[in-house]
Amino acid sequence: MSETSMASRIIPVIMCGGAGTRLWPASRESMPKQFIAMFAERSTFQDTMLRVANNDLFDKPIVVTSAEFRFVVADQLQQVGVCADIVLEPFRRDSALAVAVATVLGFRRSPDAVLLVLASDHAIKNVSAFHDACSDALPAATEGYIVTFGVIPTEPATGYGYLKPGLALNNGPVRKLAMFAEKPTRDMAETYIADGYLWNSGNFLFQADVMMREITRFQPEIGAAAEAAVDGAVQDLDFTRLAKAPFEAAPKISIDYAVMEKTEHSAVLPVDFGWSDLGSWDAIWAHADQDAAGNALSGRCEVVDVNNAIIHSDDSILTTVIGLNDIVVIASADAVMVAPRGITGEIKVLVEKLKAAGRSEATQHRRIYRPWGYYETLNLGGRHQVKRILVKPGQQLSLQKHFHRSEHWVVVHGTGEITVGDEVRMLHENESTYIPIGAIHRLANPGRIPLELIEVQVGSYLGENDIVRLEDAYNRVE
């Protein structure tokens, strides 16, 4: 593919929404699984972006994500050195509208654009085989087919939909797609495998005009909403914010139900590149490296007489397990889950129960990412809160004030530029300052290394909405 022209390169579209509650407590709504590095050095989102960073085969990617994740996406892209167009959905409307928006954007980039839709939370072990599969699917896509990647099954899994391949196209590797099948029982899955069915990976390749034609044909409301959302989009820093009104009015439906199960232009390419959707702790256990006893271990954990377990422990806590088999232990600073391996739906039930009880741990991580860095809650009481704050080099928080709390700052690493009222001064390691209630203040990092400080808040109300922003480098003043 080294001679592939600019116009015929594939535009990757990375779908980066979803709550990831099946992997709670590591994955939560405020920081879902695609952004978490578990049993790996990078997040699955970062691995996905690196997978499509081959400039001979791929054009600049499009990342479709929620507005709440925009700064996490930008930060993780910067960490791996990949550039992308980041498109922000104002609401979650399932995959059909997201694919339609990306299709409109791809078509406007190049009328003969070919798009590759990928989930951001899947794992692929053989990247070279993945690239070969993209090349193999390209001719069928340019001939007008929407080509789904069908994974050759390794077991009668019940957590995936299945695809029945039909006749080969032009005697090549791509075949007509004869049938979609929903997630089966185990007995039915065994029958599917015996009959040559494939797992539905949910990833597919198509020409932009073909997908737009089929969306308009089967779901005209989706097509119109996508066009209107792009037409009304505004640029916000490095992000494209889609118009809210068309999104809000559009129906919620997946691309499979909207188009793929209806069109006669669907095809499937059987693939074997070590794919997993990492949709459960059991799937992560199967994908992760294991010790001699079959244990997948991550973080600060020690085991004695333990077999076939998956154990993940945050760096803030030491987790030890003795004499147990086939278990899941996920330990973070504010929540621990212990369960038998193989559970799936029960975790969602647990998370909903925690939500109903008003537990913030159900949805919120202790570490919250912002465009300037992040903060994490270390201790929370009735009238006090202790946070660790990290500000990236060259970044600054908004000029702000609070009505219900005062703040004490102690620098533990780096140098900060502190504004309190009309006074601006430098604060160095092991130095502190006090921010009275109502004082206008700002924290900035003018240095070349990260600034870390401990913040102690004291007051009658400590919520994040007690912030009045007066100036902000990230357009967050309301």
Rounded to an integer, the average pLDDT of 217-238 is 95
The CB density around residue 431, as the number of other CB atoms within 10 Å, is 15
- What is the 8-class DSSP label of residue 398? P
pLDDT of residue 403: 96
Measure CA 224 to chain center: 27
What is the tens place of the pLDDT at every residue in 113-147?
999 999 999 999 999 999 999 999 999 999 999 99
Residue 455 in this model has a pLDDT that exceeds 60: yes
pLDDT of residue 1: 35
Residue 475 in this model has a pLDDT that exceeds 80: yes
Rounded to an integer, the average pLDDT of 171-187 is 94
Collapse the DSSP code of 413 into the 3-class scheme (helix H, G, I; strand E, B; otherwise coil) and give the result: strand
Q: What are phi and psi of 432, to 5 degrees?
A: -140, 165
Rounded to an integer, the average pLDDT of 433-439 is 97
Residue 7 in this model has a pLDDT that exceeds 60: no
Collapse the DSSP code of 39 into the 3-class scheme (helix H, G, I; strand E, B; otherwise coil) and give the result: coil
Residue 173 in this model has a pLDDT that exceeds 50: yes
Rounded to an integer, the average pLDDT of 258-262 is 93
Collapse the DSSP code of 476 into the 3-class scheme (helix H, G, I; strand E, B; otherwise coil) and give the result: coil
Buried/exposed 50-61: b ≥16 CB within 10 Å, e otherwise: ebbbeeebbbeb
pLDDT of residue 290: 96
Task: Indicate the pLDDT class of residue 344, thresholds 50, 70 and 90.
Answer: confident
pLDDT of residue 376: 92
Asked, as a colleague might, if the bond just before 25 is cis with ω within 30 of 0, I would say yes
What is the tens place of the pLDDT at every residue in 54-78?
778 999 999 999 998 998 999 999 9
What is the tens place of the pLDDT at every residue in 312-329?
998 889 999 999 999 999
Backbone torsion region of residue 421, taken as left when φ is above 0, otherwise alpha when ψ lies between -120 and 50, otherwise beta:
left
What domains can be seen in the chain, in order of their start residue? 10-276 (3.90.550.10), 281-343 (no CATH), 367-471 (2.60.120.10)
Rounded to an integer, the average pLDDT of 171-199 is 95
pLDDT of residue 279: 87
pLDDT of residue 4: 43
Rounded to an integer, the average pLDDT of 445-453 is 97
Q: Which of 278, 276, 282, 279 is nearest to 343 (CA)?
A: 282
C-alpha to C-alpha distance for 282 and 164, rounded to whole angstroms: 26
Strands (E), 109-251: 114-119, 123-124, 146-151, 162-168, 175-181, 198-207, 234-236, 239-241
Element (H, E) at 329: strand 327-331
Q: Where are the alpha helices (DSSP H) in 317-358?
A: 345-356
Residue 180 in this model has a pLDDT that exceeds 80: yes
Pairing, β 10-16 against β 114-119: parallel
Rounded to an integer, the average pLDDT of 287-304 is 96
Task: Indicate the pLDDT class of residue 464, thresholds 50, 70 and 90.
Answer: confident
C-alpha to C-alpha distance for 392 and 235, rounded to whole angstroms: 24
Give percent of the chain with pLDDT exceeding 90: 83
Written as one letter, the residue type at 354 is: L
C-alpha to C-alpha distance for 60 and 51, rounded to whole angstroms: 12
